């Protein structure tokens, strides 16, 4: 079929050409190729411009990657661009190059890489109205409906509960994300008069810096000074280099960043500071804003129009410091001098959906492209990073001691095997030592943090007579008992069910709760300390709008005595009156089938311990464990990063895991187990004979089934760069293997192996 070419597109060579007429466009599709379009008269475009095109009858947004005067394609086939959007917000060439590198190193398409680079800002300007749902039925009726729907319409029940818990109009995208549901449940609820769909103009959700947060300008100690000088010198020389700033918690790393930023600004250069999403709090922002009032804060809660405004300020050079989570790496700052990644070991710097890039890796790439310096900061650098520092690829800077008044806390390891037998049988929640310490500290009106990285009441509901536990019907995992809600919940697919009256296998009526979650911990603490004011911070209690700030605010004002939480409370909190930190179980992460289990445990223990003794008073940390001899626990207790690294490196060397290799993970998921298996069998064939490449699997994934999809995976260890390139060449397009019944995902440097 030939399509008629509109007259004005007729490219007769004797017509004077007004600039380049053909553009290459990358579309946000999992397709590796780009597409050629023609510019209609009156429109001009440059690489980096966003455009709208017609693609097989669909209107899609895309980004221009190249322009040219000619094309090899038959002219009649080339469709015109529909529109060029917001040319004042187009992507600078360096970011286009960065996206190209991202596509190459993570095996995604250019369009997908660009989509991450240029968030959805330029689509609409001005105020935008977004669809929300809110309660239409009276509240008590809705509460009843949650229960009624549970039996036959589980997804609707979940949606309704989420809206009730949120306590106000909730965006539909949030509803779907939180409950892992499609459009149909909320639509049905609207149809039945329980919810109502409303359009609400988006609010400007600026993250206001905490006003009380003034970053005092301290006299730097000699370690800090050395670090500032080393980094500044290279920024001044326009030279790319990566530094590792290794400093114990409270050693004044942030102060070092602030000082370097001052110098960078004095040189009329710009900087980007990345912090983990969880640390992007008014407190953090306040520390930067008090020294740099023009700071641009970029976070995931920003509305499109606010993000667009921040982008423009950066593009125009009105803001020269950008602070944000992972994606702030792509902030279009002018004359980039420095990128800081604080807490470089945090897993949230790796994106867990396509494109699966790691912000650390991409920061270094951007530093290379723009001749900027990269500073990675951490108290517990990853093995990859410390490995590179030791080999001289990164330059190591060390802050060996706490900077201000705070001293490192005293850490006690409490061996739970020595608790009384009766207590053991019930499962020890708080050891005798921890109880005594808590009592003492609460009497002194100090505050206590209790950390447990597991939400719910108990992770398993077990039948003591036949040993069966309640499993999710769609996933191969135990369901967690949530007693407050009175439901068993699958933490993988969010489905829920009522507690069975008896064991479905042997009809025993006394199922019991095995293991401890934060909910049970809270109950136990209240039993022991009825006078104390106890609060809990985990994904369940933080579902309500503004809950985070409210609880932390109360804690700061000392309206809360004991704060219980998951990893939400492990990082960054700086409260001077916390003198006791209890790690209820150091063992929760130790037995996870992941080569980083020990590393993650060490990092977490070290971070949690760092919350104690930040003020003038001395702090104590109690780590409860059944494995006191484990090297990760032992090293964390001694604050001995070096000895941990030494042992861990020896283990990695024997097993050939990173930093002694680079990993690729290929995951296949499908309704039929045999499909998933077969796709991987094909994909691994060319790898099996490759030099310096080792394939583990294909094998069933640890969680063998999620939402009725069977999961198989393989791990590919690449022992040098050439091997990595070869392996990527062979499976870089593995997603193309995916069929309608089976989804294939490639993950480079995967952060999860489950």
Residues near ligand ADP, by CB under 6 A: 216, 218-221, 224, 247, 249-255, 403-404
For residue 687, give the DSSP letter.
H
> 671-698: buried (b, 16+ CB within 10 Å) or exposed (e) per residue?
eebebbbbbbeebbeebeebeebebebb
Q: How far is the CB of 632 from ligand ADP (least distance, A)?
A: 21
Cis peptide bond N-terminal to 105, omega within 30: no
Among Zn ion, ligand ADP, none, the one that 472 touches (CB under a kind-dependent 5 to 8 A) is Zn ion
Residue 54: other Cβ atoms inside 10 A: 13
Distance separating alpha carbons of residues 114 and 65, to the nearest angstrom: 10
Q: Kindly state the smallest distance separating residue 404's Cβ from ligand ADP, in Å.
A: 3
Partner that binds at residue 319, options ligand ADP, Zn ion, none, CB closer than 5 to 8 Å by kind: none
> Contact region for Zn ion (CB under 5 A) — 63-71, 428-436, 473-481, 642-650?
473-481
Neighbours of 138 (CB within 10 A): 10
Q: At what angle do helices 93-106 and 110-117 cross, to 10 degrees?
A: 130
Residue 251 binds what, of ligand ADP, Zn ion, none (CB under 5 to 8 Å, by partner type)? ligand ADP
470 is an interface residue for Zn ion by CB under 5 A: no
| E strands in 71-210 | 83-85, 129-135, 170-171, 195-201
Q: Of the candidates 474, 483, 508, 554, which one interacts with Zn ion according to CB under 5 A?
A: 474
Choices 112-120, 303-311, 464-472, 708-716; region in contact with Zn ion by CB under 5 A:
464-472
Helix (H) or strand (E) holding 605: helix 597-609
Q: Name the nearest CA neighbour of 174 among 164, 184, 163.
A: 163
Cβ nearer to ligand ADP, comparing 615 with 700? 615
In the bound state with ligand ADP, the residue whose beta carbon lies nearer, of 311 and 349, is 349
Nearer to ligand ADP by Cβ, of 94 and 567: the residue is 567
Does 472 participate in binding Zn ion (rule CB under 5 A)? yes
Q: Whole-number minimum distance, CB 487 to Zn ion, in Å?
A: 13
Q: Among 112-120, 284-292, 489-497, 530-538, which window interacts with Zn ion (CB under 5 A)?
A: 489-497
Q: How far, rounded to the nearest angstrom, does the alpha carbon of residue 622 sit from its chain's CA centroid? A: 28
Q: Where are the alpha helices (DSSP H) in 280-382?
A: 282-289, 304-315, 359-370
The nearer residue to Zn ion, 49 or 495, going by C-beta atoms, is 495
C-alpha dihedral (541, 544, 548, 549), degrees to nearest 10: -140
- The entry of ligand ADP, Zn ion, none that residue 253 binds, CB within 5 to 8 Å by partner kind: ligand ADP
Q: Which stretch binds Zn ion (CB under 5 A): 127-135, 345-353, 376-384, 471-479?
A: 471-479
Q: 255 contacts which partner out of Zn ion, ligand ADP, none, CB within 5 to 8 A by kind?
A: ligand ADP
Q: How far is the CB of 230 from Zn ion (least distance, A)?
A: 50
Judged by beta carbon distances under 5 to 8 A according to partner kind, the member of Zn ion, ligand ADP, none in contact with residue 243 is none
Which one of Zn ion, ligand ADP, none is in contact with 249 (Cβ closer than 5 to 8 A by kind)?
ligand ADP
| Residue 475 binds: one of ligand ADP, Zn ion, none (C-beta under 5 to 8 A by kind) | Zn ion
Give residues with Cβ within 8 angstroms of 615, minimum separation 6. 405, 406, 575, 576, 577
Q: What CA–CA distances, in Å, run from 3 to 74, 358, 584? A: 11, 44, 70
For residues 257 and 323, the answer to whether their CB atoms sit within 8 Å is no
Site for Zn ion in 512-551 (CB under 5 A): none
CB nearer ligand ADP, residue 326 or residue 614: 614
Report the alpha-carbon angle 691-697-701, nearest 5.
140
Write down the least CB distance from residue 402 to ligand ADP, Å.
7
Residue 492 interface partner, choices ligand ADP, Zn ion, none, CB cut-off 5-8 Å depending on type: Zn ion
Q: Is 490 in the site for Zn ion (CB under 5 A)?
A: yes
Q: How many residues bind Zn ion (CB under 5 A)?
A: 6
For residue 504, the partner it binds in ligand ADP, Zn ion, none, with Cβ less than 5 to 8 A by kind, is none
CB of 249: closest distance to ligand ADP in angstroms?
5
- Strands of 237-295, DSSP E: 241-247, 270-274
Q: How far is the CB of 494 from Zn ion (least distance, A)?
A: 7
Residue whose C-alpha is closest to residue 567's, from 176, 251, 276: 276
Tell whether residue 488 is a contact of Zn ion (CB under 5 A).
Answer: no
User: Residues with Cβ < 8 Å from 2, sequence gap 6 or more?
Assistant: 76
Beta carbon nearer to Zn ion, 458 or 579 = 458
- In the list Zn ion, ligand ADP, none, the entry touching 607 (Cβ below 5 to 8 angstroms by class) is none
Judged on CB neighbours under 10 Å (0-12, 13-18, 19+), 654 is exposed
Q: By CB neighbour count within 10 A (0-12 exposed, 13-18 middle, 19+ buried), where does 6 fall?
A: exposed
Nearest approach, Cβ of residue 216 and ligand ADP (Å): 6
Provide, rounded to whole angstroms, the least separation between the CB of residue 566 and ligand ADP: 21
d(CA 316, CA 130): 28
Smallest gap from residue 254 Cβ to ligand ADP (A): 3
User: Quick check: 479 binds Zn ion (CB under 5 A)?
Assistant: no
Residue 252's binding partner among ligand ADP, Zn ion, none (Cβ under 5 to 8 angstroms by kind) is: ligand ADP
Helix (H) or strand (E) holding 667, with range, is strand 662-670
CA distance 201 to 74: 46
Nearest to 386 by CA among 736, 148, 91, 647: 647
For the CB of residue 475, give the shortest distance to Zn ion in the complex, in Å: 3
Neighbours of 205 (CB within 10 A): 11
Q: Which is nearer to ligand ADP, 134 or 401 (CB)?
A: 401
355 touches 80 (CB < 8 A): no
CA–CA gap between residue 257 and residue 273 (Å, rounded): 9
CB of 276 to ligand ADP, least distance (A): 13
Q: Which residues pair with 712 in a beta bridge?
A: 668, 700
- Site for Zn ion contains 489 (CB under 5 A): no
Closest approach, Cβ 250 to ligand ADP, in A, equals: 4
User: Per rule CB under 5 A, is residue 493 in the interface with Zn ion?
Assistant: yes
Site for Zn ion in 391-420 (CB under 5 A): none
Q: How many Å apart are CA 63 and CA 29, to the nearest integer?
A: 12
User: Smallest distance from the beta carbon of 600 to ligand ADP, in angstroms?
Assistant: 20
Distance of CA 56 to the CA centre of its chain: 35
Residue 473 CB, shortest distance to Zn ion, in Å, is: 7
Q: Binding partner of residue 490 among ligand ADP, Zn ion, none, CB under 5 to 8 Å per kind?
A: Zn ion
Selection from ligand ADP, Zn ion, none that 453 binds (CB < 5 to 8 A by kind) is none
Binding partner of residue 348 among ligand ADP, Zn ion, none, CB under 5 to 8 Å per kind?
A: none
Is the CB of 224 or the CB of 431 nearer to ligand ADP?
A: 224
Residue whose CB is less far from ligand ADP, 252 or 515: 252
| Residue closer to Zn ion, measured from CB, 258 or 472 | 472
Q: How far is the CB of 192 from Zn ion (least distance, A)?
A: 26
Contact (CB, 8 A) for 517 and 480:
yes
From the CB of residue 505, how many other CB atoms can be counted at a distance below 10 Å? 11
Q: List 482's β-bridge partners, or say none.
A: 487
**CB nearer to Zn ion: pick between 469 and 474:** 474
Which CA distances in Å does 385 have to 229, 231, 275, 366, 752? 22, 17, 17, 17, 18
| Cα 343 to Cα 604: distance, rounded to the nearest angstrom | 12
Residue 408 binding partner per list Zn ion, ligand ADP, none, with a CB distance cut-off of 5 to 8 Å that depends on partner kind: none
User: In degrees rounded to 5, what are phi and psi of residue 530?
Assistant: -60, -25
User: Residue 492, interface with Zn ion (CB under 5 A)?
Assistant: yes
Q: Is 155 in the site for Zn ion (CB under 5 A)?
A: no
Residues in contact with Zn ion by the rule CB under 5 A: 472, 474-475, 490, 492-493
């Amino acid at each position: 079929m030939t399509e008629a070419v509109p007259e004005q597109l007729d490219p007769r060579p004797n017509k004077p050409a007004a600039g380049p007429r053909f553009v290459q466009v990358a579309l946000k599709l999992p397709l590796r190729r780009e597409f050629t379009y023609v510019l209609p008269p009156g429109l001009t475009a440059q690489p980096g411009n966003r455009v709208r095109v017609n693609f097989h009858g669909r209107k899609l947004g895309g980004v221009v990657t190249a322009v040219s005067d000619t094309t090899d394609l038959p002219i009649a086939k080339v469709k015109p661009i529909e529109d060029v959007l917001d040319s004042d917000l187009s992507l600078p060439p360096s970011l286009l190059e960065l996206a190209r590198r991202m596509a190459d190193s993570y095996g995604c398409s250019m369009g997908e890489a660009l989509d991450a680079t240029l968030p959805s800002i330029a689509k609409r300007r001005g105020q935008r109205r977004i669809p929300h749902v809110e309660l239409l039925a009276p509240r008590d009726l809705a509460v009843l409906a949650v229960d009624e729907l549970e039996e036959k319409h589980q997804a609707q029940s979940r949606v309704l509960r989420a809206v009730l818990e949120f306590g106000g109009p909730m965006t539909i995208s949030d509803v779907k994300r939180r409950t892992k549901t499609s459009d149909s449940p909320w639509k049905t609820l609207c149809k039945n008069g329980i919810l109502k769909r409303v359009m609400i103009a988006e609010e400007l959700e600026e993250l206001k810096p905490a006003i009380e947060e003034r970053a005092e300008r301290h006299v730097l100690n000699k370690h800090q000074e050395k670090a500032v000088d080393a980094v500044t010198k290279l920024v001044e020389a326009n030279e790319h280099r990566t530094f590792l700033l290794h400093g114990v918690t409270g050693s004044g790393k942030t102060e070092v960043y602030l000082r370097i930023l001052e110098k960078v600004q004095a040189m009329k250069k710009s900087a980007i500071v990345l912090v983990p999403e969880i640390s992007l709090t008014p407190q953090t922002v306040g520390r930067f804003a008090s020294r740099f009032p023009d700071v641009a804060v970029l976070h995931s809660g920003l509305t499109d129009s606010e993000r667009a405004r921040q982008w423009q300020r950066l593009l125009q050079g009105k803001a020269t410091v950008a602070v944000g989570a992972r994606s702030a790496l792509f902030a279009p700052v002018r004359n980039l001098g420095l990128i800081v990644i604080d807490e470089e070991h945090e897993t949230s710097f790796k994106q867990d959906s396509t494109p699966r890039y790691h912000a650390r890796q991409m920061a270094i790439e951007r530093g290379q492209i723009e001749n900027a310096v990269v500073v990675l900061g951490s108290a517990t650098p990853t093995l990859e990073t410390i490995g590179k520092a030791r080999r001289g690829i990164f330059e190591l800077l060390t802050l060996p001691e706490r900077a201000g008044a705070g001293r490192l806390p005293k850490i006690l390891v409490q061996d739970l095997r020595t608790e009384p037998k009766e207590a053991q049988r019930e499962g020890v929640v708080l050891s005798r030592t921890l109880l005594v310490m808590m009592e003492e500290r609460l009497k002194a009106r100090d505050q206590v943090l209790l950390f447990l990285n597991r939400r719910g009441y108990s992770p398993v509901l077990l039948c003591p007579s036949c040993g069966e536990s309640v499993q999710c019907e769609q996933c191969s995992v135990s369901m967690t008992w949530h007693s407050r809600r009175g439901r068993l919940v699958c933490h993988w697919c969010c489905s829920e069910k009522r507690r069975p009256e008896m064991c479905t296998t042997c009809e025993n009526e006394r199922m019991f709760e095995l293991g401890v979650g934060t909910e049970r911990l809270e109950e136990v603490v209240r039993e022991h300390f009825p006078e104390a004011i106890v609060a809990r911070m985990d994904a369940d209690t933080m579902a309500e709008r503004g809950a985070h700030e409210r609880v932390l605010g109360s804690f700061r004002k000392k309206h809360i005595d004991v704060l219980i939480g998951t990893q939400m409370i492990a990082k960054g909190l700086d409260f001077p009156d916390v003198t006791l930190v209890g790690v209820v179980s150091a063992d929760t992460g130790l037995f996870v089938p992941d080569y980083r289990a020990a590393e993650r445990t060490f990092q977490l223990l070290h971070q949690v311990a760092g919350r104690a003794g930040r003020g003038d008073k001395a702090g104590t940390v109690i780590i409860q464990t059944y494995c006191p001899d484990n090297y990760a626990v032992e090293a964390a207790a001694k604050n001995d990063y070096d000895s941990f690294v030494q042992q861990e490196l020896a283990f990695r060397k024997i097993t050939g895991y990173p930093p002694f290799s680079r990993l690729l993970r290929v995951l296949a998921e499908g309704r039929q187990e045999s499909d998933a298996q077969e796709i991987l069998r094909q994909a691994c064939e060319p790898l099996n004979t490759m030099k310096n490449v080792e394939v583990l699997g294909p094998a069933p994934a640890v969680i063998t089934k999620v939402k009725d999809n069977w999961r198989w995976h393989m791990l590919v260890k690449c022992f040098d760069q050439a091997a990595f390139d070869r392996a990527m060449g062979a499976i870089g397009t593995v997603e193309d293997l995916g069929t309608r019944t089976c989804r294939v995902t490639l993950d480079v440097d995967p952060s999860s192996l489950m």
